[in-house]
Amino acid sequence: MTSTLPHRQIGPLTVSAIGLGCMNLSHAYGDVPDETDAIRLLNRALDLGVTFLDTAALYGMGANERLVAKAVGHRRAEFTLASKCVLDVYDGKRGIDGSPAAIANTLDNALQRLGTDHIDLYYMHRLDRRVPVEDSVGALARAREAGKIGAIGLSEMSADTIRRAHAVHPIAAVQSEYSPWVRNPEVAVLDACAELGIGFVAFSPVARGFLADAVHEARFVAHDIRNFMPRFTAENLAANLPLLDRFKTVAAGAGCTPAQLALGWVLARRPFIVPIPGTRSIAHLEENVGAATLTLSDDIIAAVDAIFPPGAVAGTRYNDMMQAQIDTELLPEESIA
């Protein structure tokens, strides 16, 4: 029997106030879980009332889309399905291609992997600077006219790019990293979303495990993307752990877990924000979903903000190579070579 969670509106879509990022079931954080366990987790998410699942062509080189289809394809009517294009595997290697032909090809392959003829929300995963965003969005608009997708989204893009895209076709959602320790969307994107009626989807809302009290040493398995993120180097992580201690104290005072505090903080920022934490643990999934009904006082919100003023976190969000692939605005304290 499916439970009911509070819902939020992102563009024309109504989804659970907390969704599920499916990436780490196939990609990015070291060894992938057993397929049986991943299938069990995805079904438990739906049972708990999660109605928003987020995947992408890149995740596991298509394996994540196939996993979602195998796990919950039989429950397709119960959730809003989101996936992504542009960032994909080309000739066996990760690459960015925002050309209309590449977008059409990635979409057709995704539909086949997902075992469906329709994806509810389809994002440009990244901006291809070689291709005008207007051309890329035009391709997605044609896909929508053909009935292959229901709404168009953008991921890790600036307010200026969002406005250009929205002028071609209404954008339903913008997805970017957002948490108490990643505040880039506050520069301009959240205001642009509010102005244009666009939903905002927050990925990594518990700071890639850091704000869930799950990262205490800079020791990650091979292929874990945190190996390449400056905030998780030994020196910077050691400098950031005192921030976590303060954060945990605030969570205890609020009567919730650190992960729930991070999610509650994100939910409190704007009414059109939907966080999509990922997890491989059913216990953590249930913990995360519990934040959907959490109400934080203004004092608690202020206490979190006091821990993470500008410049408080040691290390940039991405290294120079990764930063060069995104269009999101930088904070004043950030820079790239």
DSSP H or E stretch at residue 106: helix 100-114
Phi-psi sector, 311: left (phi>0), alpha (psi -120 to 50), beta = left
Q: Which of 29, 59, 122, 123 is catalytic?
A: 59
Q: Compute the average pLDDT of residues 27-54.
A: 96
User: Do the domain assignments include residue 309?
Assistant: no
By the 10 Å C-beta count (0-12 exposed, 13-18 middle, 19+ buried), 53 is classed as buried
Name the DSSP class of 91: T
Asked if residue 336 has pLDDT above 80, the reply is no
Q: What is the pLDDT of residue 2?
A: 56
Q: What is the CATH number of the domain that holds 43?
A: 3.20.20.100
CA distance 282 to 276: 15
Q: Compute the average pLDDT of residues 141-161.
A: 98
CA distance 239 to 235: 6
Q: What is the pLDDT of residue 1?
A: 44
CB atoms within 10 A of CB 5: 20
Confidence of residue 189 (pLDDT cuts 50, 70, 90): very high
CA distance 205 to 228: 19
Please write down the long-range contacts of 302-305, taking CB distance under 8 Å and 24 or more positions apart: 303/250, 303/253, 304/180, 304/247, 304/250, 304/261, 304/265, 305/180
Q: What is the pLDDT of residue 335?
A: 63
Partners of 119 in the β-ladder: 149
Q: What is the pLDDT of residue 333?
A: 85
Give residue-wise pLDDT tens across range 191-237: 999 999 999 999 999 999 999 999 999 999 988 999 999 999 999 99
Q: What is the pLDDT of residue 188?
A: 98
Q: Compute the average pLDDT of residues 304-313.
A: 97
Structural domain boundaries, residue 104: 7-212+257-297
User: Do the domain assignments include residue 251?
Assistant: no
Q: Compute the average pLDDT of residues 112-140.
A: 98
Partners of 153 in the β-ladder: 123, 173
Q: Compute the average pLDDT of residues 168-177.
A: 98
Give residue-wise pLDDT tens across range 240-279: 999 999 999 999 999 999 999 999 999 999 999 999 999 9
Q: What proportion of the chain, given as a percentage, has pLDDT over 90? A: 95
Confidence of residue 337 (pLDDT cuts 50, 70, 90): very low
Residue 50 token pair: 């999660």
User: Do the domain assignments include residue 12?
Assistant: yes
One-letter amino acid identity for 242?
A: P
Contact 49, 3 (CB under 8 A): yes
Torsion from C-alpha of 179, 337, 216, 31, nearest 10 degrees: 90
Average confidence score pLDDT of the chain: 96
| Total domains in the fold of the chain | 1
CA distance 206 to 261: 9
Please list the helix, strand and coil fractions of the chain in percent, rounded to the nearest 5, in that order: 45, 15, 35
Give residue-wise pLDDT tens across range 72-92: 999 999 999 999 999 999 998
Query: How would DSSP label each residue in 280-333?
Result: S-HHHHHHHHHGGG----HHHHHHHHHHS-TT-SSS-SS-HHHHTT--PPPPTT
User: Do the domain assignments include residue 225?
Assistant: no
Would you call 90 a catalytic residue per the annotation?
no
Q: What is the pLDDT of residue 63?
A: 97
Asked if residue 314 has pLDDT above 70, the reply is yes
Q: What is the pLDDT of residue 31?
A: 86
Strands (E) located in 86-126: 87-90, 93-96, 119-124
Q: Compute the average pLDDT of residues 183-196.
A: 98
Asked if residue 130 has pLDDT above 70, the reply is yes
User: Do the domain assignments include residue 247?
Assistant: no
CA distance 139 to 42: 31
User: Do the domain assignments include residue 148?
Assistant: yes
